[in-house]
Structure 1
């Protein structure tokens, strides 16, 4: 099979940059006719790029100046994973340079910064810009999305979506950039985790019309690099009670993002309750999806099904094997590359998160901050 090669540069050589490189190395796992090749990397710390130079044979350039990647005609697309305060300038420069962009959430440190990125996207319609969000590509989540598209749920009564982990449960963990407003922004855990939570609801038109938030700082101080305790400025956990109003339905939706959720290593979940059908999926039990079909007068019984390995793109792996986080990253990258090559003729219908969805998430998080300050339910702009 002749494959279309997409030449990538990576800006930000930390954990997620390495995850992308590992996914690219497993591309033979997929049955597709396109392939990413990482040819250049950039990080402000030269030491961070050494891993790529040692582990990724296709890398021919490493630099501390990201503009060198943008000026290189041998690079088609960029994956960018940098702190939130750097998003606006770097993302805008990538888009202006005509490079396709898959950027990390939240696409700007705040709503104003995000709007600058969205405005630049509108000026360059030929450049594909998407936001990283891999969890909807788990087979169980992907199937739940298919059920939503098929309209199985009847009248939706309630939706709950969340992303919980416990990496910050230990108060001895040193403070980092995500605990500082100057680098992470006021959103705190919402900016860091919220796009994952909102990706699928927004994709299906479930944009909140109002928000009442409960935001908490669980660990208020952490040691710095010298061991002295310094303030944690950002929110650890957030619960957002929202109301969704579509053309034909109205229902409550609970969105939650938690950095401190004891017992949860990395749990993403979505639950949809309807009059005809209900379903839920959680990465806590990644092999299973639960569903409850209902017809009036019949018994009510949850069905627990082991879902096969298959996600959006077919692989060499048989259905009896288990799917994991690295597989979801591989599937997300496949969706991004598929859209670069085939645009509206993608091999499957689920796209990566769009700039418009990132903008909608900023509107929700900004309203959540206002709700926290006022103690009131906040109506989103342009909504009833």
Structure 2
């Protein structure tokens, strides 16, 4: 099968840029796809950071410290941009104006004003495909729950909880980084860094909060500055958002949580849905297992625990008996993005990447959450 080659530039050669390169190198893991990404040009303001790509990715022919050189390169069709939040507005807008497709990291701007500027650029360039990175909903267990929501297996929704928890910042001796500073991460703190992962499925299901009451925590207030001193941590470590969802047919509470300091959790994404006809739970802590509780009036209530086979949005060479992991979910996300570039609306994706409109919704929610935390009040949402 001949495959359409999509030439990529990478802006930001840190951890996630390397994860994309790894996913591209594993493209042979996918079956029956007629497109393939090739990373041809890499950029990092700290030029030595590009050396890993030049040594490990044979398709890379150019490396630069100036992203404008990458955007001017006719050998680049699309861009993956993974930079701190304060750089999103300028870089994302320039990428979109250059006519190159964009997969950008969340939260699509350091604050609401930056996001609105990015959204205006997207509206002015409808020919450019723009998506937001969010890998976890591509896990088979999450896909199974999405199928059940579409099939209305839950009946009337009683409540929903979704979260993304890790404990990498539990150690108070960990050196401060850009995510701890408002100037680079923004006032959202953990919400901006982790929140799109949590909101992706609820927003895709149409579960829009009518209001929010936020509980935000700063747990480690000072960290080593890497120079022998200590520095103030300015951003929120953990966030719990208690929301009320109101649809045309029902209303129910929904709790969304993002935690950088959650003891016992290395990198846990989860969703729980309770309903009058059925309830379900899925967590990446047990990636092969999804739980479902069917309910009939008067009948016994019993959870059914099922091992979810390795069944993904895009077929792979892996047999169903094996375990799906993060490297698989990021590969699936990239396949969905490349599929849209290759085929537009005729793509075969059963589940698509997070949309910029969903990232914009998260900004409105997180802005309201900051207002709620400051006032101690429940804040109403205005989605118009």
Q: Deviations over 1:128-169 (max 9, x none)?
A: 000000000011011111111121111011010000000000
Once residues 326 and 195 of structure 1 are traced to their aligned partners in structure 2, the CA distance between those partners, rounded to angstroms, is: 19
Pairs within 5 Å for 1:162-201: 162-201=163-202
Counterparts of 2:78 and 2:152, CA distance in 1? 36
Report the Cα distance in structure 1 between the residues aligned to 2:9 and 2:173, rounded to whole angstroms: 36
Partner of 1:4: 4
Superposed counterparts of 1:199-238, under 5 Å: 199-238=200-239
**Which 4+ stretches in 1 moved above 4 angstroms?**
none
- In structure 2, C-alpha distance between the alignment counterparts of 1:360 and 1:145, rounded to whole Å: 20
Match of 2:161 in 1: 160
SS of corresponding position for 1:365? helix
Aligned to 1:87: 88
Q: Distance in 2 between matches of 1:143 and 1:345?
A: 23
CA distance in 1, matches of 2:205, 2:147: 11
CA deviation vs aligned residue, 1:329-373 (integer Å, no higher than 9, x gap): 000000101111122222132110111100000000000000011
Output one character per residue of 1:198-242: Cα deviation in whole Å (capped at 9) or x when no partner.
000000101111000000000000010212111100000000000
Which 10-residue stretch deviates more, 146-155 or 165-174? 146-155
Alpha-carbon distance between aligned partners in 2 of 1:189 and 1:357, rounded to the nearest angstrom: 17
Unaligned runs of 5+ in 2: none
Matches within 5 A, 1:1-384: 1-31=1-31, 32-382=33-383
CA–CA separation in structure 2 for the residues paired with 1:247 and 1:72 = 48
CA distance in 2, matches of 1:141, 1:227: 44
CA distance in 1, matches of 2:349, 2:383: 32
Supply the distance in 2 between the matched residues of 1:291 and 1:124 (Cα, whole angstroms). Answer: 43
Q: Post-superposition shift, 1:249? A: 1.3
Give the TM-score normalised by structure 1. 0.99
Secondary structure, in 3 states, of the residue corresponding to 1:327?
Answer: helix
CA RMSD across the alignment = 0.8
Measure, in 1, the Cα distance between the counterparts of 2:339 and 2:349: 9
| TM-aligned CA deviation for residue 75 of structure 1 | 0.7
Deviates more, 1:18-27 or 1:151-160: 151-160
Deviation at 1:72, TM superposition (A): 1.1
1:9 aligns to what SS in structure 2? strand
**In 2, distance between residues paired with 1:118 and 1:283?**
31
State the SS of the aligned residue for 1:244. strand
Q: For residues 259-306 of structure 1, what are the alpha-carbon distances to aligned partners after superposition, in whole Å with 9 as ceiling and x for unaligned?
A: 000000000000111111111100000010000111222211111000
